[in-house]
Amino acid sequence: MIRKALVVATFAAALPLLQGCFPLAVTGMGTAALMASDRRTTGMYIEDEAIEWKVYSRMRGDFPGVHVNPTSFNRRVLLTGEAPNEEAKKKVEESVRRIENVREVTNELQVAGNSSMASRGNDALVTSNVKARMVNNGKFSPSHVKVLTEQGVVYLMGLVTTAEADAAVEIARTTSGVARVVKVFEYVT
C-alpha cells in the first residue's frame, strides 16, 4: 500500500514537468502520419520545410513593404502575397531562386498593398472549406494536395495524377468564396 502511494505521489509530482511533452508527442505523431501518406520522401518533406524557412529568413528586413507566403512542395516554390511594385516582385523571385535546392519558382505575387487581416482571415476560411470538402472524396487522398488561398484565389500543389488534379480542381472550383483556381501540380503516372 505504501509502495502504491509512493508511485502515485511521484507521478503527481512529475506531472507538471511532463505537461509540455504531450503536445510535442501529438504534433510529432501527426507529422509522422502526414509524412507516411505523403508521396514525397521524408527527406524531401523536411527539405521543403527548410526552403520555406529560408525564404522567410530572406524576406525579414530585406524587402520592406513585401508580404510573401512561400509554399514549397517537392522543391518547387510558390510565392503568393503582395509586393509594392514590379521591381520588388522580381527581386523577391530572384532571391528565392538563389536558395540552395530550389528547383522551380512560381511567382504569383500581386503588385498591391499588403492584404488586410480580414482578407487573410477570409482566405484561411476558404482554405479550410476546400480542405474539408476534400476529405472522403473517394478520388484522391487530401494529403496529396496542398491548398492555400490568397485574395480568393485557391492554389493547389502536390504530386498527383491527372485524374486526381481534375477532381481537386472541381472541389476547389465549386467551393463558396473561391474566385479562381490555379494549379501548381507536379504530375505522376
Q: What is the DSSP string of 4-55?
A: HHHHHHHHHHHHHHHTTHHHHHHHHHHHHHHHHH-SS-HHHHHHHHHHHHHH
pTM for the full model?
Answer: 0.79
Q: Is the pLDDT of residue 13 over 90?
A: no
- The mean predicted confidence, pLDDT, of the chain is 88
pLDDT of residue 37: 73
Same domain? For 72 and 132 the reply is: no
Answer yes or no: are the C-beta atoms of 82 and 67 closer than 8 Å: yes
What is the domain range of residue 15?
2-37
Q: How many domains does the chain have?
A: 3
Closest CA to 55 of 92, 108, 103, 110: 92
Same domain? For 132 and 102 the reply is: no
Question: pLDDT confidence of 36, banded at 50, 70, 90?
Answer: low
pLDDT of residue 4: 52
Q: Which H/E stretch holds residue 133?
A: helix 117-134
The residues with which 187 forms a beta bridge, in sequence order, are 160
pLDDT of residue 189: 86
Residue 174: is it exposed, middle or buried by C-beta count within 10 angstroms (0-12/13-18/19+)?
Answer: exposed
Answer positive or negative: Cα dihedral of 72, 73, 77, 83: negative
Same domain? For 14 and 66 the reply is: no
> Grid cell 484561411 — which residue?
124
Q: What is the pLDDT of residues 76-127, one digit of tens each?
A: 999 999 999 999 999 999 999 999 999 999 999 999 999 999 999 999 999 9
Which CATH number belongs to the domain containing residue 124 in this structure? 3.30.300.130
Pairing of strands 76-83, 67-73: antiparallel
Same domain? For 61 and 24 the reply is: no
Same domain? For 183 and 135 the reply is: yes
Lowest pLDDT segment from 30-34, 46-50, 61-65, 123-127: 30-34
pLDDT of residue 62: 85
Q: What percent of the chain has pLDDT over 90?
A: 77
Same domain? For 146 and 161 the reply is: yes
Which CATH number belongs to the domain containing residue 64 in this structure? 3.30.1340
Instruction: Indicate the residue among 76, 111, 146 that finishes a domain.
Output: 111
The predicted model gives 169-178 an average pLDDT of 98
CA dihedral 36, 126, 180, 142 (to 10 degrees): 20
CA distance 94 to 6: 63
Same domain? For 15 and 74 the reply is: no
Report helix, strand or coil for 117.
helix
Same domain? For 79 and 121 the reply is: no
